[in-house]
């Protein structure tokens, strides 16, 4: 299988109300997915915002971009997508899944179970649709050559990220493990300070999964709701 290439997919945007931003004012957030392109086909990581929840639409006022249009802008057709993965199964990440009936959808078993059993967790028709073909994972797994799924619990207990290994380094598709490149940078610096025994004037903390992601020496980290890209301050 060829070395993969990562392409960003623009699924639109939505307005996060002031009650959710922590800044006292609304914020417009991106809806991004990522295509991992091999010569043999495409792995699509997240599929856009689901329809069918009027309350969510009224709250977030989304502007959706059709799946086929969004893919076409990156030179991808629906039939090119052979595999799907979602960072988690909230409605803003799995909306296009029914378009890929029969194709494997990689998901943590905990996430799928939570989505099915928890009221108002997601839009049910985006989860259990005709032809849904879930490949359930329990932890880290190599799902394709050069491509690892990594548990990154926090936003949801079953959240996962993807690491794509290439000749120029590792690209992490972080999904919503954190909301922004700034947030990831803060966690990375906390991790670095802990390793360097820095005097931070008190205890510092970071997500447990940062250790694993940094073991992979990422050159870029990409996010579901932020166009910014995290890169290390220097290459090792």
61 within some domain: yes
Q: What is the mean predicted confidence (pLDDT) over 18-30? A: 92
**Model confidence pLDDT, tens digit, residues 115-137:** 999 999 999 999 999 999 999 99
**Model confidence pLDDT, tens digit, residues 205-227:** 899 999 999 999 999 999 999 99
Q: What is the mean predicted confidence (pLDDT) over 28-48? A: 97
11 within some domain: yes
138 within some domain: yes
81 within some domain: yes
Closest listed residue to residue 67, CA positions, set 57, 54, 76 = 76
| Domain total in the chain | 1
228 within some domain: no
**Per DSSP, what are the bridge partners of residue 36?**
6, 43
184 within some domain: yes
Its pTM surpasses 0.75 = yes
Distance CA 7, CA 34 (A): 6
Q: What is the mean predicted confidence (pLDDT) over 183-195? A: 92
- Alpha-carbon distance values, 185 to 77, 143, 171, 213 (Å): 34, 27, 15, 13
Distance CA 94, CA 98 (A): 9
Residue 91 sits in which domain range?
5-222
118 within some domain: yes
What CATH number did the domain enclosing 205 receive? 3.60.15.10
232 within some domain: no
* Average pLDDT value over all residues in the chain: 94
Distance CA 174, CA 9 (A): 14
Q: What is the mean predicted confidence (pLDDT) over 10-32? A: 94
**Per DSSP, what are the bridge partners of residue 38?**
41
């Amino acid at each position: 299988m060829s070395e993969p290439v990562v392409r960003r997919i623009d699924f639109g945007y939505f307005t996060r109300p002031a009650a959710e931003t922590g800044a006292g004012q609304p914020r417009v957030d991106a809806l991004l997915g990522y295509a991992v392109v091999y010569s043999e086909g495409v792995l699509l990581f997240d599929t856009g915002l689901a329809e069918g929840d009027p309350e969510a639409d009224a709250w977030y006022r989304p502007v959706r971009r059709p799946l086929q249009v969004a893919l076409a802008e990156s030179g991808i057709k629906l039939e090119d997508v052979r595999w799907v993965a979602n960072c988690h199964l909230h409605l803003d990440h799995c909306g296009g899944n029914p378009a890929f009936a029969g194709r494997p959808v990689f998901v943590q078993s905990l996430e799928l179970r939570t989505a099915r059993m928890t009221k108002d967790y997601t839009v049910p028709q985006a989860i259990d649709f005709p032809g849904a073909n879930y490949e359930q994972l329990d932890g880290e797994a190599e799902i394709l050559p050069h491509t690892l799924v990594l548990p990154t619990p926090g936003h949801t207990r079953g959240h996962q990220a993807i690491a794509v290994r290439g000749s120029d380094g590792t690209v992490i598709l972080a999904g919503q493990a954190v909301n922004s490149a700034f947030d990831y940078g803060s966690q990375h610096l906390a991790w670095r300070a802990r390793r360097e025994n820095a005097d931070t004037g008190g205890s510092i903390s970071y997500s447990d999964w940062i250790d694993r992601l940094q073991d992979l020496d990422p050159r870029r980290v990409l996010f579901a709701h932020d166009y910014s890209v995290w890169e290390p301050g220097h290459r090792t």
